[in-house]
A and B are shown apart, each in its own frame.
Chain A
Amino acid sequence: MTPTQAPSTPHVVIIGSGMVGHRLVEQLRAQASAQAVNITVLSEESRLAYDRVHLSSHLDDPQPDLSLATDADYAAQGVNVVYGRATDVNLETREVTVTGRTLTYDALVFATGSVPFVPPVPGRDASGCFVYRTLDDLNAIREAARSARTGVVIGGGLLGLEAAGALRKLGLDTHVVEFAPHLMPAQLDAEGGATLRRTIEGMGIGVHTGKSTEAITSSEQGRVTGLNFTDGTRLETDLVVFSAGIRPRDELARQTGLTVGERGGIRIDDTGRTSNPHVYAAGECALHDGRIYGLVAPGYQMAKVTATNVLRELGVLSGEALHFRGADLSTKLKLLGVEVGSFGDARGVTPDCRTVSLSDNVRGTYSKLVLSADGTTVLGGLLVGDTARYSDLLDLTLSGTPLTVPPETLIVPPLPGGAVMTSADALICSCENVRASALCAAVQDGARDVASLKKCTGAGTGCGGCVPGMHGLLQTELRRLGETVTNHLCEHYAYSRQELFDLIRVKGHMTWDEVLAAHGTGLGCEICKPAVGSILASLHNELIMKPQHAPLQDTNDAFLANIQKNGTYSVMPRVPGGEITADGLIAIGAVAKRFGLYCKITGGQRIDLLGAHRDDLPAIWEDLIAAGFESGHAYGKSLRTVKSCVGSTWCRYGVQDSTSLAVRLELRYRGLRSPHKLKSGVSGCTRECAEARSKDFGIIATERGWNVYVGGNGGVTPRHAVLLASDLSEDGVITLLDRYLMFYVRTADRLQRTSTWLENLDGGLEYLKSVIVDDHLGICAELEAGMARHVGTYQDEWAAAVADPAIRARFRTFVNSDARDDGVQWVDERGQIRPASPHELTPLPMAGGDD
């Protein structure tokens, strides 16, 4: 396509190909095809838009793919690109001049962004002075750092601290200089800044606040040597990075005669329009309501508003105009490893507002809430060092929900022993948008179990991830109402899972019928049957496919595969530690091909084969078993996977052989039935590529051995695992994990993750240590013996299943026919199958057909 178009198709020209310019293109194209509107993007840089927010990742990976757009993508979408700088705009004739060419526009959008502000300090042009803005800047800094020892960042705001992190990564002795009396003056107050400063100084970075640079000195060769401050002090350095804010790029707009703000920025109204009706601006070059937004999210909001309004103006779209009403400046980030969160009126500028704050020099945290004059609603706040409560508090702020608890309870750390304050009117179910208050009201109105809560509030009926949270809330609320709270498994058993576990173990029951007859009523249900099935499996490790155990297994355990939405199953062979041979890969691929399965690499470093018909499962497993695979237990409440990095065998940073340990652990604990599924990871160094700390148990190598972390999870409530023991040998790790896992299996509640189990353990981590490290209760030998029994009795369930004709018969789709379920239909997507959505299903044959 060429920029000159048939007169009937309107033409939008965007000046600038940054993140916002690219978002404009996306938004325009999402709403109008190439036939409806022509788009031309002018790009001054030699490459199209890239992700500037993740610029610093460039230091970990010299060739990161930060691209948001490529020439090919744009060509495919019919978007023209002209490389070069726009030099003139004629508002009368609606023409833009770029590299000597003239383009006629129907609508023009400025997305020229901003430039870093370099304060007018004498000497600022010396060699060794940089800004931190583009990939080229970063490359230049990296190059200069090779021959430098010390680096200084001028500016202690968000970007300045990010730049400091970059210098530190490059191995420089790093300093930050801030003009204001404390760090991050735009977001933090003095106390928050001080907390941040202590932590950053603790990392060996020099922090110099309240300092104004008078001059930058340089050597005879013109290289930077240091900074002189106005107070007479001096800082020696080999490299300087300016990060003192941004200035909107509005030169072309000024020259064109568009209205700009006193301190810069192209003035726009709520619809994104400048002072000329055919010209718009979005992003960091735009001034809205006296404000320049230096964050990408507001820029994206402006892009959306502008794109829609441009298309309306051109007659391509109908409907209401969109309005930009300003943006929320709440941010949460991790700077130099310190978590910082700022939301709403963080600095407390609302008249008569009140504050509650907690500064904890021991934990290195600072939390502050800004409250309305009457103290009933949260207007904003700050979190430094620990932002675990960020979402809840942001939610409280944005919703303006009146507080139901004393505000200070919202910022105190969790109480020892794991009691969790249900403090705010938290959003419990995000699928159905149900808050804690609605659930509490339902409990007051008589709801006494999760099923009735689901029915009357809708919570828990979407993805179901909040159901465990609903359980907890129900118990707390019932206790608050003074009602007897039972921990009964369900109406069939007046015992908790742990009590039932002890009963079954002590009485030596082997089957469901014995357990039900001795301790239960009725016929059981979908809650108690799998729980008893799991307890029997943990204790005796018999084949769960045995006829007497079959009625207890939910479909995944009954068919040793994971049921998916259309009733077909997915199959996941075990790949211990994620280590697999080329032959193994080929074998899995051959099975997938033979049975027409969809393939996906999972987060646990395995290969999931989806779309298997139930009656194909035994044949699929025969092939997999012949190729040396065994059940991956992806269907069970049991050990799933032990993820690992390549460790010291391959990695230049690795200090221990994480793969070997991961394989050893996965093979040891495979098939261990537990209250909840278990995941693990082993990392070969503290870079933590296996993400071990998000797992139920994680092991991280140090130069002195292995550190064991427990109680993490990546589920609905993500939690980092906590350190249980350090510097262990491999055998030491295994002894400790044997005890930990067995203690958890024997004492946790039904479907309770290790994280909540640990939290609810009276005495928490210290108690766990006393039991499984110090053997305070004298049960370690028994726990180890329990695990030894499990390891000794392990057998591959799938090998046993395919070898038994009676078990194989259970996999038939129909008891009386070899037909397949004709409700299972597939649609091609990206070259593989996926289940047809209801509207894509071919109607099943109707009466009168004759074949």
Chain B
Amino acid sequence: MTLTPAHPTAVSPTLPWTRVCAVSDILPGTGVCALIDGQQVAVFHVAGRVFALGNLDPFTGASVLSRGLTGSYTRNGQIRLKVASPLLKHTFDLETGESLDTPGVRVPMYATRTEGGDVWTGSLA
């Protein structure tokens, strides 16, 4: 197998779509971790939608985000989705990967789609 870079920013933007698992492999409201080209990707199934972001919690250096509790928060009157890291409870927006605790910190996001009951992820969003 050929290893890909450890730094997600170096992932090719033309990364092919990869089948990760069946949607039914993810209990609604929770996440799983997938290994995609050597990268740990946290894949969530929340509110009927699927999201994929880097699994590494940038505040602790541990690969744990897929094990976080998901939920929602309100910003400017809009309900947005988030995940809280299980280690020190730092929270991240599920749609943008941005940290809700420290402006400027962001975890990588991957494109996702579901097809025939399967979850696919693509290049960095």
Contact = CB atoms under 8 A, between A and B. Distances in A.
B64 A563 contact: yes
A523 B5 contact: no
Given A526-B91, A845-B38, A846-B6, A815 B71 contact: no
A526 B88 CA distance: 11
12 contacts: A491-B73, A522-B72, A525-B73, A525-B82, A526-B91, A529-B71, A550-B30, A554-B69, A567-B67, A816-B34, A823-B56, A823-B63
A253 B67 CA distance: 68
B71 A847 contact: no
Interface string A825-851: 000000000000010000111111111
B66 to A, nearest CB: 9
Nearest to A524: B71
A226 interface: no
Interface string A556-580: 1011000101110000000000000
Contacts of A529: 69, 71
Interface string B4-41: 11100010000000001100011111101111101010
Contacts of A810: 27
Query: A523, A530, A555: which has the most chain B beta carbons within 10 Å?
Result: A523
A815 B43 contact: yes
Interface of B: 1-6, 10, 20-21, 25-30, 32-36, 38, 40, 43, 46-47, 56, 60-64, 67-74, 79, 81-82, 84, 86-89, 91, 101
A522 B71 contact: yes
Given A523-B46, A555-B68, 19 more contacts: A492-B71, A523-B71, A525-B84, A528-B71, A550-B29, A551-B70, A555-B86, A558-B30, A559-B67, A567-B63, A810-B27, A814-B32, A814-B40, A815-B33, A816-B34, A823-B63, A849-B3, A850-B2, A851-B1
Closest 10 CB pairs of A and B: A551-B29, A525-B71, A555-B86, A523-B72, A526-B84, A567-B62, A522-B72, A815-B32, A817-B35, A526-B69
Interface of A: 451, 454-455, 464, 491-492, 522-526, 528-530, 547, 550-551, 554-556, 558-559, 563, 565-567, 809-810, 813-817, 819, 821, 823, 838, 843-851
A550 B36 CA distance: 25
B61 A838 contact: yes
B81 A847 contact: no
A832 B38 CA distance: 29
Contacts of A851: 1, 3
A561 to B, nearest CB: 11
Contacts, number: 123
B14 to A, nearest CB: 15
Contacts of A523: 46-47, 70-72, 79, 81
A287 B46 CA distance: 72
Given A526-B69, A551-B28, A845-B3, A823 B21 contact: no
A566 B60 CA distance: 8
Contacts of A491: 73-74
B33 A551 contact: no
Query: B10, B34, B35, B68: which has the most chain A beta carbons within 10 Å?
Result: B35
Contacts of B2: 849-850
Contact of B101 (A455, A550, A566, A823): A455
A813 B81 CA distance: 24
Contacts of B101: 451, 454-455
Nearest to B33: A814
B27 A551 contact: yes
A565 B87 contact: yes
A365 B47 CA distance: 60
B21 A816 contact: yes
A492 B81 CA distance: 13
B72 A567 contact: no
Contacts of A455: 101
A651 B109 CA distance: 62
A524 B29 CA distance: 10
A563 B86 contact: yes
Contacts of A814: 32-35, 40
A768 B75 CA distance: 43
B6 to A, nearest CB: 4
Nearest to B19: A816
A815 B86 CA distance: 19
B5 A846 contact: yes
Nearest to A523: B72
Given A529-B69, A844-B6, A846-B5, A563 B34 contact: no
Contacts of A492: 71-72
B42 to A, nearest CB: 10
A563 B72 contact: no
Contacts of A556: 86
